[in-house]
Amino acid sequence: MLPKILLILIFAAILLTNNKLHMNHYETVFILNPVLSEDQIKETVKKYEDLLKTKGAKMVANEDWGLKKLAYPIQNKKSGFYHLFEYQADGSIIQPMEVEYRRDERFMRFLTVKLDKHAIAWAERRRTRNKEKA
């Protein structure tokens, strides 16, 4: 019979392994201020992509949707640069990332959504459809 401590260590190792394999799938869409230059937009996107990666996220897609007209004015602006991140990560990094988005004045709005299996399949179809158009 195995000692109790060995059983606890084996159980802990199994739990840690399973948590690494079952990261949640997220999608974040954000709108950047339209007065930013092209270089400032690229720098902002790169900064937050790198921040996600350093926190252990695996980037699935990074899409630039460009300048779009807003449905209603935000901060007296009628347009904004849209961008989408799709990534796999542990749920504990979402809150700190959203705090960073709120602190950055270049962000006008953002929305982070946890994707279920149907949304993941739909996002996959959308990406392949967009690749075929390009």
pLDDT tens string, the chain, 134 residues long: the values are 556 665 566 666 665 555 555 689 999 999 999 999 999 999 999 999 999 999 999 999 999 999 999 999 999 999 999 999 999 999 899 999 999 999 999 999 999 999 999 999 999 999 888 888 87
Two structure tokens written together for 76: 């007296």
Domain 23-133, CATH 3.30.70.60 — does that match? Answer: yes
Whether the pTM exceeds 0.85: the reply is no
Domain ranges across the chain: 23-133
**Length of the chain measured in residues:** 134
